[in-house]
Structure 1
Amino acid sequence: MDRRHFLQGLWGAAAGWSAGARASDCSPDDWAWAFAAKAQQHPRLEGFRGLSHDVPLVRMALSGRLPKGLAGAFYRNGPARHELGGYRYHHLFDGDGMVQKYQIDEHGITHFGRFVRTEKFLADTEAGRPVRGAFGTPLGCLQPVGSPDGVNTANISVIHHGGELMALWEGGSATVLDAQSLETRGVKTWSEEFTAMPFSAHPKVEPDGTLWNFGVAGSHGVLAIYRISAAGQLQQAQIIEVPRIAMMHDFAITERHLVFVLPPFLFDAERRRSGHTFLDSHVWHPRQAMRVLVLDKNDLSRQRWFELPTGFVFHLGNAWEDRQGRKIHFDLARFADPSLAQQELHRLMRGEKVAGAPPELATVELDLGSGRATQRLLPYTADFPRIDPRRVGRRHRDLFCALRSHANAAPWFDGVIRVNTESGSADRFVYPEGHMVEEHVFVPSPQAKGEGQGWLVGTALDWRRHTMVFSVFDAQRLAAGPMAQASMPRTMPLGLHATFVPARSGQSS
Structure 2
Amino acid sequence: MDRRELLRLLAAAGAAPLLPRAARAANPDGWQAQFDASGAGWKIGFATPPADLAPTRAVVRGRFPDALSGTLYRVGPAGHDLGGERYHHWFDGDGMTQRFVIEGREVRHQGRFVATGKRTAELRAGRRLDEAFGTILPGVAPATSPDSMNVANTNLLPLGGELLALWEGGSATRVDPGSLGTLGLKTWRGDLAGLPFSAHPRVDPDGSVWNFGIGSGQGLLLLYEIAPDGALRRADALPVPALPMVHDFAVTDRHLVFLMPPLVFERARKDAGASFLDAHVWRPELGMRVLVVDKKDWGKRQLLQLPAGFLFHLGNAWSEDTAGGTLIHVDYVRSDTAAAVFTSDRELMRGRRVRGPEPTLTVATLNLSTGEARQTGLGLDAEFPRIDPRRIGLRHRQVLHATQLLAERPGFAAIALTDVESGASQRFVYGPQAMVEEHVLVPDGERPGWILGTVLDLAQKKTVLSCFAADRLADGPVAQATLAHALPLGLHGVFVPGAAA
TM interval, shorter chain, is: over 0.9
1:5 paired residue among 4, 8, 19: 8
Superposed displacement of residue 463, structure 1: 1.3
1:140 paired residue among 138, 141, 147: 138
Unaligned runs of 5+ in 1: none
For residues 413-444 of structure 1, the C-alpha deviation after alignment (integer angstroms, 9 at most, x for no partner) is: 11110001111100100103211010001110
Which amino acid is 2:347 matched to? R
The residue that corresponds to 1:70 in the other structure is 68
The residue that corresponds to 1:43 in the other structure is 41
Superposed displacement of residue 340, structure 1: 1.0
1:20 paired residue among 19, 22, 33: 22
SS of residue in 2 equivalent to 1:442: strand
The residue that corresponds to 2:418 in the other structure is 419
Q: Matched residues in 1 for 2:24 and 2:148: separation? A: 21
Deviates more, 1:243-252 or 1:284-293: 284-293
The residue that corresponds to 2:455 in the other structure is 460
Deviates more, 1:69-78 or 1:321-330: 321-330
Alignment map for 1:81-230 (pairs within 5 Å)? 81-143=79-141, 146-230=144-228
The residue that corresponds to 1:281 in the other structure is 279
For residues 86-139 of structure 1, the C-alpha deviation after alignment (integer angstroms, 9 at most, x for no partner) is: 010000000000000000013411111000000001011001011022011122
Superposed displacement of residue 48, structure 1: 1.0
SS of residue in 1 equivalent to 2:285: coil
- Structure 1 residues 356 and 418, CA gap change in structure 2 (3 angstroms): same
- Structure 1 residues 405 and 479, CA gap change in structure 2 (3 angstroms): farther
The residue that corresponds to 1:480 in the other structure is 475
Q: Matched residues in 2 for 1:266 and 1:209: separation? A: 33
1:297 aligns with 2:295: yes
Cα pair 2:291 2:303 within 8 Å, conserved: yes
Superposed displacement of residue 44, structure 1: 1.4
1:309 aligns with 2:304: no
Deviates more, 1:430-439 or 1:282-291: 282-291
Q: Matched residues in 2 for 1:201 and 1:294: separation? A: 19
For residues 440-463 of structure 1, the C-alpha deviation after alignment (integer angstroms, 9 at most, x for no partner) is: 011101x326xxx21110000011
Cα pair 2:40 2:352 within 8 Å, conserved: no
Superposed displacement of residue 149, structure 1: 1.4
> Across the two proteins, how many residue pairs are aligned to each other?
496
Which amino acid is 1:377 matched to? G
1:444 aligns with 2:443: yes
1:371 aligns with 2:366: no
Cα pair 1:46 1:493 within 8 Å, conserved: yes
Superposed displacement of residue 381, structure 1: 0.3
Cα pair 1:472 1:485 within 8 Å, conserved: yes
Q: Matched residues in 1 for 2:362 and 2:276: separation? A: 29
Q: Matched residues in 1 for 2:276 and 2:67: separation? A: 45
Superposed displacement of residue 144, structure 1: 6.8
RMSD: 1.5
Unaligned runs of 5+ in 2: none
The residue that corresponds to 1:384 in the other structure is 384
Q: Matched residues in 2 for 1:239 and 1:4: separation? A: 6
For residues 479-502 of structure 1, the C-alpha deviation after alignment (integer angstroms, 9 at most, x for no partner) is: 000010110120111000010000
SS of residue in 2 equivalent to 1:299: coil
Superposed displacement of residue 407, structure 1: 3.5
- Structure 1 residues 479 and 106, CA gap change in structure 2 (3 angstroms): closer
Cα pair 1:73 1:102 within 8 Å, conserved: yes
Cα pair 2:441 2:451 within 8 Å, conserved: yes
1:495 aligns with 2:490: yes
Cα pair 1:20 1:141 within 8 Å, conserved: no
- Structure 1 residues 194 and 292, CA gap change in structure 2 (3 angstroms): same
SS of residue in 1 equivalent to 2:347: helix
The residue that corresponds to 1:362 in the other structure is 362
Q: Matched residues in 2 for 1:199 and 1:338: separation? A: 23
Superposed displacement of residue 326, structure 1: 0.7
Query: What TM-score do you get using the length of structure 1 for normalisation?
Result: 0.95
Superposed displacement of residue 20, structure 1: 2.2
For residues 35-79 of structure 1, the C-alpha deviation after alignment (integer angstroms, 9 at most, x for no partner) is: 1001xx211111112223100111100112222322000011000
SS of residue in 1 equivalent to 2:223: strand
Query: What TM-score do you get using the length of structure 2 for normalisation?
Result: 0.96
The residue that corresponds to 1:349 in the other structure is 349
Q: Matched residues in 1 for 2:104 and 2:480: separation? A: 14
The residue that corresponds to 1:57 in the other structure is 55
For residues 331-386 of structure 1, the C-alpha deviation after alignment (integer angstroms, 9 at most, x for no partner) is: 00001101111111111111122211011000000011110001010011011100
Superposed displacement of residue 17, structure 1: 6.7
- Structure 1 residues 178 and 17, CA gap change in structure 2 (3 angstroms): farther
Q: Matched residues in 2 for 1:138 and 1:295: separation? A: 36
For residues 250-286 of structure 1, the C-alpha deviation after alignment (integer angstroms, 9 at most, x for no partner) is: 0000011100011010000000000000000000113
Percent identity of equivalent pairs: 46
Q: Matched residues in 2 for 1:422 and 1:30: separation? A: 48
For residues 223-274 of structure 1, the C-alpha deviation after alignment (integer angstroms, 9 at most, x for no partner) is: 0000000000000100000011100000000011100011010000000000
Cα pair 2:32 2:84 within 8 Å, conserved: yes
1:266 paired residue among 241, 264, 267: 264
